């Protein structure tokens, strides 16, 4: 058994195999998952786990080059919006802001979508994998 970090075997394997530019989507309980995109379903019940709980664990293990958020996130999910902006600033990352429909279109090209139990509207984020060099 792993001692620290992400313990979920499927999520841990995905993180370990992300390549430069790969997209990982973390979504709320209602984000549609395209049939051809793998879904790692972490939702236990409505609200558990929250997207931010999963995001914080994932961020401990990945290098990113940028983040994508949907514009409605700013007003509907201000905690995620502010957390992402603070993280991006601290890591010197850019944030792309797109429409919710554009975020759903981008998710069709993701390596996977991680479904959380979060029920806050527009609580979705795309992490773009980077490299440490």
pLDDT tens, residue by residue, 34-73: 999 999 999 999 999 999 999 999 999 999 999 999 999 9
Q: 21-129 is classed in which CATH architecture?
A: 3-Layer(aba) Sandwich (3.40)
pTM, two decimals, is 0.96
The token pair at 101 is 């429909």
The token pair at 7 is 């313990």
116: left (phi over 0), alpha (psi -120 to 50) or beta: beta
Tokens 């999963």 identify what position? Answer: 54
* pLDDT, tens digit (0-9, with 9 covering 90-100), for 117-127: 999 999 999 99
Would you please indicate which residues are annotated as catalytic (active-site) residues? 20
3-state helix, strand, coil in the chain (%, to 5): 35, 25, 45
**Mean pLDDT over all residues of the chain?**
97
Q: Residue 13 and residue 10: Cα distance in Å, rounded? A: 5
């Amino acid at each position: 058994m792993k001692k620290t970090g992400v313990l979920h075997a499927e999520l841990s394997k995905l993180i370990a195999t992300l390549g430069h530019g790969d997209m990982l989507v973390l979504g709320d309980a209602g984000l549609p998952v395209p049939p051809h995109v793998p879904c790692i379903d972490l939702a236990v019940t409505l609200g558990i786990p929250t997207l931010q709980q999963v995001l914080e664990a994932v961020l401990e293990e990945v290098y990113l080059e940028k983040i994508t958020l949907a514009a409605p996130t700013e007003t509907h999910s201000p905690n995620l919006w502010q957390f992402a902006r603070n993280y991006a600033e601290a890591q010197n990352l850019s944030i792309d802001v797109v429409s919710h429909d554009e975020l759903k279109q981008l998710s069709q090209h993701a390596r996977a979508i991680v479904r959380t139990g979060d029920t806050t509207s527009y609580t979705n984020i795309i992490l773009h994998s980077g490299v440490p060099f």
